[in-house]
Amino acid sequence: MSPVAPPDPDAEVLASTRMEVRRQGLLSAARRLSVLMVASLPALLVVDVLLWSSVPVVRLQAWTIFGALLAIISLSLTGLRWGRLPLQPAEELRRSLVLLFGLPIALQWGGISFVIGPTDDHGAIVVTMSILVAATAVVAAVGAASLGVSLPVLAAVVVPNLVWFAIEYGLGSVPALLLGYGSLLTLAVGLLAQRELAQREVLIARFDELLRSVTRDRSHLSELNAELQYRATHDLLMGIPNRELLQAELEQALEAAEQDEGSGRVGLLFLDLDRFKFVNDTLGHQAGDALLVMVGARIEAALADENALVARVGGDELVVLMRRVESQDHLRAVADKLLGKFVDPFTIDGVELRAATSLGMAESVAGESADDLYRHADAALYVAKQQGRARAVYADDSLRNERNSRVKAELELRAALRCQEIEAWFQPEVDLMSGEIVAGEALARWRMGEEIAHAGTFIDVAQRAGLLEALMFDMLEQVATWRRRTGSDLSIGVNIATNDLPALLNAHADDPRRSLRNVRLEIAEPDVLGDLAGTKVLLQEIRSLGAEIILDDFGSGFSSLRMLSDLPIDGIKIDREYMARVENDVRVRRLVTSLAEFGRSCGIKVIAEGVETPSQAEFLMEIGIDRAQGRLYSPAVEPDVFDCLVGTGCLPTEPAARL
């Protein structure tokens, strides 16, 4: 037996509404027409007077036949319409009274008039008529009252007519009057109710169309919502889930695994396409998109037998969620299968491309969150790239511990910045000929209780955590505070990354009081080479605000002298690695000598950092480098010590004395 379909809420609402519209239309029409017909009694009186010249019995029979026909017609019309309405018990009583309003008159008077028609016994007629007048009047009154006509109004109109006709024409005329009135009233109610129903049917049809339109709109809205939901949770290029849906699915999988300990663990595999940027740059982004689609198809084919989900979380970054992993070997087998899908080349527009992927994988551990698992797999991917790409790395305990330590360090560094535990210490820059302090460099120090951590111990942590910008602004603010406190206009250098240059310009635009005058910005040479043209524009704008630009760690990158001469800089700092070798390496000595000559020819400062021995200082003076920075003169010191160095000249004034 086929299952019974559940009721349609919209169909039920439509049927109920249509029934209510019909019911209200019929009842309102009947009430209005009953009042109209009661008011029409004077007109009926005139018609009856005009017909009074006929023989009373014949006249009565004529009225009876005429009224019966009208009653039958009106009953048919009214009954057919009203009979379809399912009404409540009280409404059913009203319907019955209305339908029977003319029926007693037609049936009773028709039969009696034909029975007594042949006799001339006026007394019998009068007695019979008197009885039936009372019965007919009661039926008419009850019917009119059921339609909403008040009895006082009915009595005020009907009773005077009945009395007048009884006195003037005898009792025989009263039934005829009631018969005509009742028949016409029933006919009018039926016909006008029919017209009212026709109008209501039009309204119902319009309502049906409106409801269907609303239903169509609801269906369209549901489709639109589904489309928007899909777009919000899927990557439109590859047709697979995006980061948001992956996060939700990962949390559900971890919750299910925690509730059912025997269901295995949850696995996560991070894939990053190697040299994908090369494909975009050489063949165009359309080729890159096509490659992603084909890669996605191969990955899904490799996971056909697994309870897995593939998501795109970045440009060329894909993540595979394994909802059930039996063991580490199971996860490694899936990783090998995925790597195997990249052995065969990809063909795009007739061109064969060989693509590879680095892969990091991790398993869920009790107590770890979705974010923890996500970061462990990401850390494993990072190691895979460092080891040479096109390989898979599993996030074992050592890698997890390393990652946890890194996360702990990041949290501690954030707290240190928030609690102002990162201090700016100052290292002087000395003029080799005069021995005077001509500038300084602000170096970050982390005060950890009694210990002081140098910037080199936490700068990588700041870079991974995205805290270099916050660290830069913190150093600039401490330098500004020192300048306000001392009133000194000494140039103080602050290390800055090229990525933070736009933020520095925006901060100055938002608050012009953040003056960059007498501020030296030191940018590492390798950092500049990443985007030479873009960096050049930013440096020009910053220099226009009064800042001094120094190219730091010069020689650690691969810039040419021609490239160097094109940059808007005020000086270079020779990398400390060269100073460490200058005493024993002839080639390094020649290189440093060339840099000194280049600086003089370009009119820029040449500063040697990392100077630690007197022989290094002597060599620098011999080749014409007049500025140096290093432990030979002073390490980085606290602000109050630096005040002493600057204000009182604690450094020896003669170079020979320092040597």
Same domain assignment for residues 181 and 267 = no
- Of 441, 550, 438, nearest to 489 by C-alpha is 438
Do 314 and 433 sit in the same domain of this protein? no
Output the pLDDT for position 86. Answer: 42
| Kind plus residue range of the DSSP H or E element containing 160 | helix 151-169
pLDDT value, residue 456 = 85
> What parts of the chain have a pLDDT lower than 50?
1-4, 31, 33-46, 55, 57-59, 61-120, 122-123, 125-154, 156-157, 168, 180, 183-184, 186-188, 190, 652-659
Kindly report, residue by residue over 71-112, the tens digit of the pLDDT: 444 444 344 344 444 444 444 444 444 444 444 444 444 444
Domain-terminating residue out of 206, 229, 250: 206
User: Given this model, what pLDDT does residue 382 score?
Assistant: 85
- Enclosing domain of residue 383: 237-395
Copy the structure tokens of residue 129.
Answer: 């008529």
pLDDT score recorded for residue 524: 85
Both 385 and 434 in one domain: the answer is no
In Å, what is the CA distance from 524 to each residue of 191, 196, 401, 469, 521? 99, 91, 31, 15, 10
Q: Are residues 465 and 557 in the same domain?
A: yes
Residues 554 and 647 in one domain: yes
519 and 382 co-located in one domain: no
> DSSP secondary structure string, 85-133?
----HHHHHHHHHHHTSSHHHHHHHHHHHHHHTT---HHHHHHHHHHHH
Contact status, residue 221 vs residue 277, Cβ threshold 8 Å = no
User: Are 385 and 463 contained in the same domain?
Assistant: no
Q: Is residue 137 part of a domain?
A: yes
369 and 470 co-located in one domain: no
Task: Give the integer Cα–Cα distance in Å for 85 and 322.
Answer: 62
Last residue within a domain, chosen from 159, 190, 206: 206
Within-domain flag for 232: no
CA distance 643 to 630: 18
Residue-level pLDDT at 658? 39
Tokens of 150: 């008040």
To which H or E segment does residue 425 belong? Answer: strand 422-431
CATH classification of the domain holding 562 = 3.20.20.450
Q: Both 376 and 289 in a single domain?
A: yes
Report d(CA 435, CA 437) in Å as an integer: 7
CA dihedral 163, 168, 169, 173 (to 10 degrees): -20
As a three-state string, the secondary structure of 589-654 is HHHHHHHHHHHHHHCCEEEEECCCCHHHHHHHHHCCCCEEECCCCCCCECHHHHHHHHHHCCCCCC
How many residues are there in the chain? 659
Evaluate whether 462 touches 495 at the Cβ level (below 8 Å).
Answer: no
| Per-residue b or e along 40-78, where b marks 16 or more CB atoms closer than 10 Å to that residue's CB | eeeebbeebeeeeeeebbebbbebbeebbebbbebbebb
Q: Are residues 353 and 473 located together in one domain of the fold?
A: no
pTM for this predicted structure? 0.53
- Tokens standing for residue 93: 């009583």
Q: Would you state the pLDDT for residue 101?
A: 42
Q: Residue 609 domain-assigned?
A: yes
Strand-pair category, 346-348 with 308-312: unpaired
Give a yes or no: residue 508 inside a domain: yes
Kindly state whether residue 273 falls inside one of the protein's structural domains.
Answer: yes
> At 286, which CATH number?
3.30.70.270
Quick one: pLDDT at residue 25? 60
| Same domain membership, residue 278 and residue 193 | no
Q: Number of structural domains, the chain?
A: 3
List Cα–Cα distances, 549 to 111, 173, 498, 512, 552, in angstroms: 124, 124, 12, 19, 9
Answer with the one of 206, 224, 254 that is the final residue of a domain. Answer: 206
Residue 383 sits in the same domain as residue 424: no
Structure tokens at 347: 């063909």
First to last CA, the chain: 107
Q: Are 607 and 629 in contact (CB under 8 A)?
A: yes
Q: What is the pLDDT of residues 141-199, one digit of tens each?
A: 444 444 444 444 445 445 555 555 555 455 555 555 555 455 445 444 545 555 656 66
Place of tokens 């009842």: 27
For residue 7, the model assigns a pLDDT of 55
Which residues, in sequence order, are CB contacts of 591 under 8 Å at separation 6+? Answer: 555, 578
Hunting for tokens 């549901």 — which residue is that?
222
Picking from 494, 460, 497, the residue whose alpha carbon sits closest to that of residue 479 is 494
Question: Within a domain: residue 221?
Answer: no
Structure tokens at 42: 């004077």
Residue 228 belongs to some domain of the structure: no
Q: Which of 428, 429, 427 is nearest to 626 (CA)?
A: 429
Sign, CA dihedral 210-215-217-218, equals positive
- For residue 218, tell me if it sits in a domain: no
The string of pLDDT tens digits covering residues 519-553 is: 899 988 877 776 677 788 888 888 888 889 998 88
